[in-house]
Structure 1
Amino acid sequence: MIVTKSTGLIRFYHATRYSLKGLKAAYRSEPAFRYETWAALAMLPFSFWIAQSGLQLGLLISTLLLVLIMELVNTAIEAIVDRAGTEFHALAGLAKDLGSAAVLFSLFITALVWGGIIYDNFLVG
């Protein structure tokens, strides 16, 4: 049996639906994703006030999105590991810990970028 994949606008439509379905699932099932979403939404208006150029604005907003992206990847890793089995396995634990570490590093990047831009724009200038 040959299965043909959608192309063009139909593929884009379906891909968008799947993406929105994933976002809804993450928001409903993952408290960390909800907290980070609300934090990003709270910080977004400040990015327009803090930034003094388009590049700075892009960096500030990109770091907020980076945290959400890493949380989605972490959630996907956890779902796959949990699907594979409920018994403890060192590699399963490692995979979950590494996903969590990726989220942590994205938070560090966000703090560094926001701190650096705030420092440059308000404390030095």
Structure 2
Amino acid sequence: MHHHGYVWTGPKQRYDDEALRRPPPPHPPPDGSRPDLVLRHREVKAEFPTVDLPPLETAYWLIKPEKLVRGTWEEPKEAADWLGERLGEYATLVVDFLETPRDIEAGVKARTARGTVREGRADVQDSPWRAGPSLQHRRQ
């Protein structure tokens, strides 16, 4: 097994564009639909596979371009250490969005991620808009 690392930074307004963070519906809107819906479907269909926004589901990273992968590791400790370093690196950029800098304690999040990944229990993703890492549990 191996682990990939991704990083996205940008304005929260862009992050909140959920249509670009999920795959488009498999079929376009039916004939006679509002022109804005048809246009939006085309936009999402064209952009989702290549846009660097973090997808709503971790597994969707795997259909993104390889150039978005910031690192690949065989060992979960190495991946979790990288995540902890990124959290520390970007913490100062997001403090304005948080109630207190303690909301983004890179060491705690890295330890949580390391244990989760090491045990193969879940994929880990994190954002300053979350209280803690999101664990995408794997089905056994």
Computing the radius of gyration over CA atoms, which structure comes out larger, 1 or 2?
1
State the TM-score, normalizing by the size of structure 1: 0.32
